[in-house]
Structure 1
Amino acid sequence: MVAIVVGIQLAISLGYFAVMAHVVAHLRHDLGMLAGTITVVLAVRVAVQNMLFLPAGALTDVIGPARTGALACALRAAAFALLGAANGAGGLLLSVVVMAVGGALFHPAAQSVLAGVTPEHRSRGFSAYVIAGQLAAVAGPPLGLVLLTGGFGLLSAVTTGAWVVGALLFTLLRREPGALREDSPRPGPRGLTEGVSAVLRDRSFLRFALTAAPSTLLTTQVTTVLPLKETDPGTTTLFFCVVAIVAAAIQPWCGGRGESPRLLRSGLLSAGAGYLLLLASPSGHHASIAVLTAAAVMHGLATGLTQSALFQAVTRCAPPRRFGVYTGLLSFLSGAVSLAGGFTVGPLLDAGTPGSATAMTGLALLATISAAVLRLPRPPAETQRSGRTARPLLARVLVR
């Protein structure tokens, strides 16, 4: 099961990064779209995907991760086919909405499979899953550049094929993961609302999700901050390659260490340090390669540490057959903070050097505050040792 999910991650991520690295240039130069139109349409994808994470996670729990994953890949395949055929704003908008729905379904489905395997395979499986995604982030853009020699239509067709392969691989997961198979029968149709209600009433996990929500903003906003420092394309490419390589390299060390809050705190503080290093580096051609490389290492550590820690925290706290809705809530809150943060940071970056300094200082401060207030939900054993009587719902949530 781990091998299938990692294979899916590698195939679809190569296709995704191959297209997304070049889609803006295609829309701008090949289709002649205005920058404002492109920005709004791509923002719609992020917003729709974030809004759907919670119901998509609940749906994963009801119909199963294999069916959800196959549906997600099929929708993404259709989205990239539409993207390749789009010649105006209407077709582009339809493609990104379908892409958003598929993305919201894919992540809880894939991670639910990994969460359901035996503990000795779970950490290594998720590490391999992250490594596959990061390697694809490095190899995808050059692959896309090669395929672009045959036109954007060829690139989108190959990516569509990669997602079709992902859908077919999900159909091989006929057997339930062991940890899921041993539990109670899968929830019925009412499980959608019951799952959402249960996770929202789990105050311990909700508090954790709120304090950890800035992690996505802190690890992804650098993709906007660095290009707007006017670094040359070669330096920018090197920066993001270092981020991906470090995030992948740290995964073997992360496995099994998610029980400690220090893993997630270290990731958040690494992101904060990365923004301070970017603040210390001059803009444009005078940028220090050494400082930018150090910042890339910090952001790579932040990405690798936070992804592993968050997965292990949800796996530990989600009750049987509720991993999807739990990770959906965390993704929903993280996406909302990321979207709001993007709308805040963007205008500051447009304001020149003072605004850029304010944005990066604010991001570093947010990382420090989030790390300081972070509290992982208590595992069931701690609740039992405390000798206190938990409320029935909380007991059902905490005890596997």
Structure 2
Amino acid sequence: MAPSTSTPHPNRPLTGHPAPPARPPGSGRHVLAVVVGVQLAISIGFFAVMAHLVTYLRHDLGLLAGTIAVVLGVRVALQNMLFLPAGAITDAVGAARAGALACALRAAGFAVLGVIDGPAGLLGAAAVLAVGGALFHPAAQSLLAGVPPARRARGFAAYVVAGQVGAVAGPPVGLALLAGGFGLLSAAAAGAWAVGAVLFLLLPAERGAAARAGARLTGGVSAVLRDRDFRRFAMTAAPATLLADQIVTVVPLKEVGAGSTTLFFCVVAVAMAAVQPWCAAGGRGERPWVLRSGLVCAGLGYLALLAMPSGEGGHLVVLLVAAVLHGLAQGLMQSALFQTVTRCAPSGRFGVYFGLLSFVAGVAALTGGFVVGRLFDAGGGAAAMAPAGLALVAVLSAAFLRLPAASREHDGP
């Protein structure tokens, strides 16, 4: 990333926009159209399958619950473990090529899911999906980070909205395709990812990427690990992913019913999408208080779930309040984290900086998710400690958060 004229204080709002880490291939408008279009297509395909995968594995294939948990857990754990090396690979080969490879791997993984019926094959498919996911996110966001600043914030907002549209539209689309069998559903998802690979390949490769590949791959990881300010930021911001992920566990375990749970997640998606234009206007996502506000909203959302009264009418009102708070939290946190990585990563290093943040956040999410699950298994007062503990984590993260200064390094033209 080209430096700004002065390094801003890490705890003050930014007054300018540093240059992007590396200009993406093609025009900014073209890149945004490709990335947002791919995000919409693959999100619908992903959620169409994942919403019905557990039912398919349990009832159609007859797998035990423990086996299903292992298959799903391998994908999540491996993807989190690979974020850092995947980010370095993205910087080395170029974001467009990494995005095409990511989509191709996920297309293969979903295609295999539709024809494999044994645990070994399912684990292999989960591993392929994990590698593809670890490559896709740094690749797509590297392309967004490289567009001109005037379009970058709006482009990321459109990217987030497209993902939420896919999260809402995917399950009913999957239900319709499931009438033709899970094989048809998985083939459709594979097709969506294959289209994404083709669209990424239509973007010209970054100039000079091949010549710089070796240096970026060998030096990228060591460079980000030497950045003490960013390492500290990654540690204090890591709970953001845990706070976003655990509503998927906490809300169903509150036993509010399938209808109320579905309504909750729809409201979360709507609130998350609705706050994006506000984050994009004037580059608000770059300001330190935006990330803190997102963390505080998440904490308040868990406190609302903790205080949720019994009774259909009472719990529905509080559930909707909690859903709005969690939607705002996720929208604010995603925008702020993207803008922070864009500001801090040196030129050509967005992928590896994003990878380190995602890796640390993934470790926190996996560890925290295990603790939350054990608390709910214990029942009684221990179960009530889960949302209370998550709220405390949110407050502590907001209190200790300190955004790093903008990068002053260049990789050259």
Output the CA distance in 1 between the equivalents of 2:410 and 2:264: 41
Q: Which secondary structure does the structure 1 equivalent of 2:286 belong to?
A: coil
Q: Does 1:59 align with 2:89?
A: yes
Output the CA distance in 2 between the equivalents of 1:184 and 1:139: 37
Output the CA distance in 1 between the equivalents of 2:62 and 2:159: 37
* Aligned-pair CA distance for 1:160: 0.6
Q: Does 1:343 align with 2:370?
A: yes
Q: AA paired with 2:183? A: G
Equivalence for 1:386 = none
Q: TM-score, normalised by structure 2?
A: 0.89
Q: Do the aligned partners of 1:279 and 1:357 also contact (CA within 8 Å) in 2?
A: yes
Q: Which secondary structure does the structure 2 equivalent of 1:292 belong to?
A: helix
Equivalence for 1:312 = 339
Output the CA distance in 1 between the equivalents of 2:181 and 2:312: 32
Seen in structure 2, the aligned counterparts of structure 1 residues 171 and 356 have a Cα distance that, compared at 3 Å, is: same
Match of 2:404 among 374, 377, 388: 377
Match of 1:118 among 145, 148, 158: 148
Output the CA distance in 2 between the equivalents of 1:337 and 1:168: 34
Q: Which structure carries more relative contact order (alpha carbon 8 Å, separation 6+)?
A: 2
Q: Do the aligned partners of 1:230 and 1:283 also contact (CA within 8 Å) in 2?
A: no
Q: Does 1:236 align with 2:261?
A: yes
User: 1:354-390: CA deviations, max 9, x gaps?
Assistant: 122111110000000000000111235xxxxxxxxxx
Output the CA distance in 2 between the equivalents of 1:233 and 1:113: 38
Seen in structure 2, the aligned counterparts of structure 1 residues 351 and 195 have a Cα distance that, compared at 3 Å, is: same
Q: Do the aligned partners of 1:230 and 1:284 also contact (CA within 8 Å) in 2?
A: no
Q: Do the aligned partners of 2:93 and 2:210 also contact (CA within 8 Å) in 1?
A: no
Q: Which secondary structure does the structure 1 equivalent of 2:87 belong to?
A: helix
Equivalence for 1:385 = none
Match of 1:94 among 124, 130, 135: 124
Q: Do the aligned partners of 1:243 and 1:299 also contact (CA within 8 Å) in 2?
A: yes
Output the CA distance in 2 between the equivalents of 1:259 and 1:160: 35
Q: Which secondary structure does the structure 1 equivalent of 2:404 belong to?
A: coil
Give the alignment of 1:1-400 within 5 angstroms.
1-174=31-204, 176=206, 187-255=212-280, 256-282=283-309, 288-379=315-406, 395-396=408-409
Seen in structure 2, the aligned counterparts of structure 1 residues 168 and 298 have a Cα distance that, compared at 3 Å, is: same
Q: TM-score, normalised by structure 1?
A: 0.92
Q: Do the aligned partners of 2:113 and 2:186 also contact (CA within 8 Å) in 1?
A: yes
* Aligned-pair CA distance for 1:232: 1.2
RMSD: 1.8
Total equivalences in the alignment = 381
* Aligned-pair CA distance for 1:259: 2.5
Seen in structure 2, the aligned counterparts of structure 1 residues 283 and 98 have a Cα distance that, compared at 3 Å, is: farther
